[in-house]
Amino acid sequence: MDYSWVMDQVNISEFKATCLRLLEQVRQTGQPLEILKNGEPLAIVHAAPPRPRKEAYGAMRNTLRGEVGDLISPLDESDWEVLR
């Protein structure tokens, strides 16, 4: 499939020299980038889909594992390691 009319093209040597800038350009514009080697298509870089952002409130909900037990009543002296 020929997408060359839709996207920017860059030679592999230029991509290597300016990789971070080109990847940021793809992320910002959403336009794919075709990487060429000796004039032949080598790869097409697409922007990653945006991730949904989690709310801070309730982010740790359902993360506790195991049995918690009684959190309010004091421990017996036998439960304290330092007193053994």
Which fold would CATH assign to domain 1-48? YefM-like fold (3.40.1620)
Task: Compute the average pLDDT of residues 32-49.
Answer: 94
DSSP 60-82: TTT---S----SSSPPPGGG-GG
Predicted local confidence at residue 35, as pLDDT? 96
Q: Per-domain residue ranges for the chain?
A: 1-48
Q: 36 has which bridge partners? A: 11, 41
Predicted local confidence at residue 7, as pLDDT? 76
Predicted local confidence at residue 6, as pLDDT? 59
- Distance (Å, whole) CA 25 – CA 5: 18
